[in-house]
Amino acid sequence: MSITIKQLAALAEEFDFDVADARRFLGHTEPKKRGRPTKKGDDSDSDDERCSGGKCTPRKTETPRKTEIPRKTETPRGKRAPTGYQLFMGSTAAKVSADLKKSAGDRKLAPGAVITEVGKRWKGLSEKQRESWVAKAKRGT
């Protein structure tokens, strides 16, 4: 026949004996704590715990960093410089859009129609013209 901890506690209160001594005498081991195991050398009865709502968590202590991580502040993060194609697109997109609206009449333009047409015109440029747009992009103009 086995006895539960609650029954043992009730008997200890009635007959006035120590529950821990009785458990050792009966060969009962301490119940295992549920949840994540504590770190070695960490006493759960220490004053370094905070208890709220029945749950106790160890206090976090400030630990200094072992090595300082260098921060790169020399090069600010920003937008990349536009390419030659992007400059070409910015200068011709409005004209291409107007041309396509005229030729479409009452029909709606497809969402990527302007970009597709600008791409076709970019491919239709001569090598010299493309290089001039790339040079403008490199200068930042």
Instruction: State pLDDT tens for residues 55-82.
Output: 666 666 666 666 666 665 554 567 788 9
CB of 101 closer than 8 Å to CB of 109: yes
pLDDT of residue 23: 79
Torsion of CA 67, 69, 70, 71, to 10 degrees: -160
Domain boundaries, the chain: 1-32, 84-139
Model pTM above 0.85? no
Tell which phi-psi region holds residue 75, choosing left (phi > 0), alpha (psi between -120 and 50) or beta: beta
Token pair belonging to 13: 């209160």
Cα–Cα distance measured from residue 46 to residue 60, given in angstroms and rounded to the nearest whole number: 13
- pLDDT by residue, tens only, the chain of 141 residues: 677 778 878 888 888 888 888 777 777 776 667 777 777 654 544 544 556 555 666 666 666 666 666 665 554 567 788 999 999 999 999 999 999 988 888 888 888 999 999 999 999 999 999 999 999 999 886
